[in-house]
Amino acid sequence: MSVRSGTSTELPSGLSHADEARWWDEHRDYWETVRGAQERIEPTRVRRTKPINLRLPIDMIDRLKTEGERRSVPYQTLIRMWLKERLDSEAE
């Protein structure tokens, strides 16, 4: 398909779910018109996860939240980052 003349290929902001679905239906060729969209993106390996429950002292959670905000990451992500760093260093 080719781009229809006179139509915008940019998704308007503020659309309802129904309006956005209609827009995508009307612009099925969108990815053909976007520069670089034809480049093949290699899939990344997806790591399986499993939720755990972990009880931590409230003051520690508060410190983690403060540090997470300072680094602009959720505190749970910060915990995972620090655990991974420690596990990696222990493996060396």
Tell me the percentage of the chain whose pLDDT exceeds 90.
Answer: 46
Q: What is the pLDDT of residues 46-65, one digit of tens each?
A: 889 999 999 999 999 999 99
Write down the domain spans for the chain.
8-42, 58-91
**Residue 45 DSSP label:** P
For range 29-52, the mean pLDDT: 75
d(Cα 86, Cα 49) in Å, to the nearest integer?
A: 18
Q: What is the pLDDT of residue 34?
A: 62
Dihedral sign (CA 73, 76, 78, 81): negative
pLDDT in tens, 21-30: 888 888 877 7
Give me the amino acid identity at 55: R
